[in-house]
Structure 1
């Protein structure tokens, strides 16, 4: 009985720590949009450069996620996550001093590196120590990610009125400190040297490339909305605080969707019907932004929040379905997320160029709708017959 209680406490502590770590993975980007006009006034950043404030950290997340398996092998999972949390916290804190154009971009890149490492490594730990509840922990983890985006986006504009806007950008370092303390006291199932870890990326696997493209397209919708939804509504005459609350409400819906998904995801062996429903919801939300952004704003926020909130964890779960060996988890997840984030980094930068050129985001919404349609067609190749088999890491090509 005592052993059962101890195990239950350990599981609860681990679940809490996973959520706390997730809270750190978006504020460095999500806090920018609602006060972007204020940042541009004080730093003379144009729309194209403003797109880089989201695009560059996402690009860094992609590039350094590819190194997740290597870092895991050299330093071990636990030590790597500790160092990554420190990097994220210091990047946020540094914005209190370095808040010029170069400083903002540099700190965004440093934070993106820390975020990338965590996102590549933590799923491997979940797979290693909690494989029987991996789907549930992964959705709680993504709920934490979206919760961090929600809190930072909804409160950064009011905070910028109470304190300086650089302070409002740097205050999120407290999330890293809390997560670091929780991570330090959380017991893990094995030591850092508990077994062989694959650091070889599945470059010859067609299926791995397919998963990377699928993840990248879906994440593009998230990065586009994260970067440009508040400026879009500010351009329509809304205040920065109200636009931030809109993004906060959208991310709250993402949290609700992720938590709701965690309760049912393991009941469906075939993920395709759920994925198609999710993608249709996102497409309708983007279409609403295109044709009636003011009158149907609540409908757009509802559709995009629930759709994007469900797509991110489902994309990770689909990748998880391909993992039979925990030792391969870091490399596969790093490859899928790394390449996927590189793809996703293009969309906010492209949207900035389009907005600078046409003084509108309509073309960006149209391009994203077309990409979602392509992603929907990709869903049909994600049958249980394929997803329940492991990635082939050795042959020259793997049938997608």
Structure 2
């Protein structure tokens, strides 16, 4: 690689990182501001949960229609549109002091995030080849780091500028990311707009059991991530911990997530068999939720640390393992879209369920228990995700769509 190509590659990595940093702050900043939002807009727990559920549901729908989005917008242009959409949605929150405005901006934020998440994994595989796993891990690191920054800065921003500005301020980094992306991706490999599906006939992933296993796995991992962002801070405030310390607990959780995902981005290639990491992450997540249920005040920082490490491994790995199954960038992107589409829809129900249970019982112990059980049940899936099983997956896929696998 010559010096010019090296600089271009570094700039492209920077653009991907900046984009990923903008995929969660508009959601994670809501949790620490729940009291102010609820009082100002008159929204109950279910309504507050919708501010997380709506964007996540949009992510799922965006992933399901990733092929159509790629066809209509192209990868480079679509990602640009996604970043600008996030910026506009955040900016509009300056005037979103009622339920209608908040839900509308949540819908728009979700649309922007959905477009980027639908297109970026395939783009990464197209441009980074054998380094795809490391770049996906870096991309995931940016997502959880953005969540950490969003949640950690929310209370401080509210104290100094008000909660409207605390939510709207995230339009600025989104615009910066859009401009860096436009410059960095100019000479990259990307699939452009087309009046026909360049990927050929759609692949019926739904016919293959492994696809559903990975979809459920992604849904549980992402659901744990979204649940922690939305409800850890309000949960501890409800237990009598002051808002500042509850915000710190959420920040500790998300910072540990980000550091763990960053560690994974540097070490992932040392683990061609991902099962050990997956099993470890699921056990840590289950333990964290069980501590929240049974002894939340005994060692709160240990509890959030366990969740942080577990989710920091589980969230990026659930994407990486799906990408591992196929070599062709477009096909892998479509497969990841299928997994993420259904997974995000499952994940969107988790914070909504938490809000409903909290409204009925004024207690989040039930959702902590459900997530612990769900995490432990995923161990059955994790132990079957051996590298050798990818070969069988390709054979199963070849059986339903042979012409699509000639490039893999």
Distance 1:17 1:264, change over 3 A: same
Q: Contact 2:275–2:386 (CA<8 Å) still a contact in 1?
A: yes
Q: Which runs of structure 2 are paired with 1:190-201 in the superposition (5 Å)?
A: 190-193=189-192, 196-197=198-199, 200=202
Q: Are residues 1:85 and 2:87 paired?
A: no
Q: Is the 8 A contact 1:24 1:148 kept in 2?
A: yes
Identify the match of residue 55 of structure 1 among 53, 56, 63.
Answer: 53
Q: 1:102 aligns with which of 100, 103, 123?
A: 100
Segment drifting more, 381-390 vs 143-152: 381-390
| Distance in 1 separating the partners of 2:371 and 2:272 | 28
Matched with 2:148 is 150
Structure 1: 5+ residue stretches without partners: none
1:137 alignment counterpart: 135
Could you say if the C-alpha distance between residues 206 and 157 of structure 1 is closer, same or farther in structure 2, counting changes exceeding 3 Å? Answer: same
- Per-residue CA distance 1:312-371 (angstroms, 9 max, x = gap): 111111001112111213311111111100001111011111111111100110011110
Q: Which residue of 1 aligns with 2:256?
A: 253
2:358 matched to 1:359?
no
Q: Which of 34, 42, 45 pairs up with 1:36?
A: 34
Asked whether the 8 Å contact 1:205–1:395 carries over to 2, the reply is no
Q: Secondary structure at the match of 1:350?
A: helix
2:66 is matched with 68
Q: Aligned equivalents of 2:371 and 2:226: distance in 1?
A: 11
State the alpha-carbon separation in 2 of the partners of residues 114 and 140 from structure 1.
20
Unaligned runs of 5+ in 2: 403-408
Per-residue CA deviation, residues 97-128 of structure 1 (Å, 9 max, x unaligned), is 12311111111111111111211210101100
C-alpha separation in 2, matches of 1:298 and 1:50: 25
Q: Is the Cα contact below 8 Å between 1:206 and 1:397 reproduced in 2?
A: no
Deviations 1:186-232 (A, max 9, x none): 03432544993357252333222221111111111111111100100
| Residue of structure 1 in register with 2:375 after alignment | 372
Moved more, 264-273 or 195-204: 195-204
1:392, distance to aligned residue in structure 2 (A): 4.7
Shift of 1:161: 1.3
Superposed CA RMSD in Å reads 1.9
Equivalents in 2 of 1:239, 1:79: separation in Å?
45
* Secondary structure of 1:203 counterpart: helix
Deviation at 1:30, TM superposition (A): 0.2
Query: Do the aligned partners of residues 394 and 87 (structure 1) sit closer, same or farther apart at CA in structure 2, a change above 3 Å counting?
Result: farther
158, 173, 176: which one pairs with 1:175?
Answer: 173
2:225 corresponding residue in structure 1: 222
Deviations 1:34-88 (A, max 9, x none): 0101111111111121111111111111112111111112321101101111111
TM-score by length of 2: 0.93
Structure 2 residue aligned with 1:165: 163
Deviates most, 237-246 or 112-121: 237-246
Q: Distance in 2 between matches of 1:396 and 1:236?
A: 53
Q: How many residues align?
A: 396
Q: State the secondary structure of the residue aligned to 2:94.
A: coil
TM (norm. structure 1) is 0.95
Query: Residue in 2 aligned with 1:124?
Result: 122
Asked if the contact 2:70–2:193 (Cα under 8 Å) also holds between the matched residues in 1, the reply is no
Cα drift, residue 168 of structure 1: 0.8
Relative to structure 1, the CA distance from residue 367 to residue 176 in structure 2 (aligned partners, 3 Å threshold; closer, same or farther) is same
> 1:391–1:118: structure 2 CA closer, same or farther, 3 Å change rule?
farther
